[in-house]
């Protein structure tokens, strides 16, 4: 497991370091000494990792946390967290900060625990209002407004 992950990671890093190296060697020498050296170094390290991943027998995964039910997309926490956050940030300019935050918190809690309807509603409203107050009134940050508020 760890070896397979290393394999995938090192291949990605080899590709990335080649991209970075190509970019660095295109820049004029004055501004590129540091990135050139580093991209080559990164490439060497990635190749070393790749070589190691091939050679080392696969062993037990110690790095990962406890896996959720990966077979179900709806229970896949990484997908859920990033997906809902993207949705939330997209909503902000449309609905405004206050409304989208309240909805995001309400939705996130309710989606994971159906029984917490009241908690989700109260917490969603109170927390987003408190945040709005702290950032807008106390700290003077202009928060995005949308159709509603």
Partner 1 sequence: MLENMLTGLIYTFRWDMLLAVFTGVVGGIVVGVLPGLSTTMGVALLIPITFGMTPAVGLAMLGGMYAASVYSGSISAILLNIPGTSSACATMIDGHPMALKGEAGRAIALATIASSVGGNVSNLCLLFMAPPLALLALKFGALEYFLVAMFGITIIASISEKDLVKGLMSGILGLFVSMIGTHQQTGLQRFTFGIPALYDGINIVVVMIGLYSLPEVIDMLQKQGAEKRVKVRVQGGLFRQMFEYFNYKYIVFRSLVIGVIIGIAPGAGGSLAGFVAYYDAKRTSKHPERFGKGTPEGVLSCETANNAEMGGALIPTLTLGVPGSAVCAVFLGGLMIHGLRPGPQLFTQNPEVIYGFIFSMFLSNLFFVPLGLLTARYGSRLIELPAVILAPTIVTLAVIGTFAINGSIEDTWLMMIMGLVGYILNRCGVPREGLVLGLVLGSMAESELARAILLVHGDVSQLLIQAVTHPIALILVILCLLSLGHAIKTQYIARKAPILPGLEE
Residues interacting with partner 1, by CB under 8 A?
Answer: 2, 5-6, 8-9, 13, 20, 23, 27-28, 30-35, 38-39, 41-42, 45-46, 48-49, 52, 62-68, 77-78, 80-82, 84-86, 88-89, 92-93, 97, 101, 104-105, 108-109, 112-113, 116, 119, 123, 127-128, 131, 134-135, 138-144
- The rounded distance, in Å, linking the Cα atoms of 92 and 67 is 31
- The rounded distance, in Å, linking the Cα atoms of 48 and 42 is 10
- The rounded distance, in Å, linking the Cα atoms of 70 and 38 is 37
Residue 147: exposure state from Cβ atoms within 10 A (0-12, 13-18, ≥19)? exposed
Comparison of 72 and 142: residue with beta carbon closer to partner 1: 142
Comparison of 93 and 148: residue with beta carbon closer to partner 1: 93
Q: Shortest distance, CB of residue 13 to partner 1, whole angstroms?
A: 6
Q: Shortest distance, CB of residue 102 to partner 1, whole angstroms?
A: 10
Q: Would you say 148 and 95 are in contact if contact means Cβ atoms under 8 Å apart?
A: yes
């Amino acid at each position: 497991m760890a070896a397979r992950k290393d394999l995938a990671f090192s291949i990605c890093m080899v590709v990335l370091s080649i991209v970075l190296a190509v970019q660095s060697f295109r820049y004029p020498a004055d501004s590129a000494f540091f990135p050139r050296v580093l991209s080559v170094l990164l490439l060497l390290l990635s190749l070393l990792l790749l070589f190691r991943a091939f050679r080392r027998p696969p062993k037990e995964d110690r790095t990962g946390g406890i896996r959720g039910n990966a077979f179900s997309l709806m229970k896949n926490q990484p997908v859920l967290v990033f997906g809902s956050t993207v949705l939330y940030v997209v909503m902000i300019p449309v609905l405004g900060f206050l409304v989208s935050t309240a909805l995001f918190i309400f939705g996130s809690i309710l989606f994971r625990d159906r029984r917490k309807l009241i908690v989700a509603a109260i917490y969603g409203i109170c927390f987003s209002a408190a945040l709005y107050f702290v950032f807008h009134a106390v700290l003077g940050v202009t928060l995005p407004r949308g159709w509603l508020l």
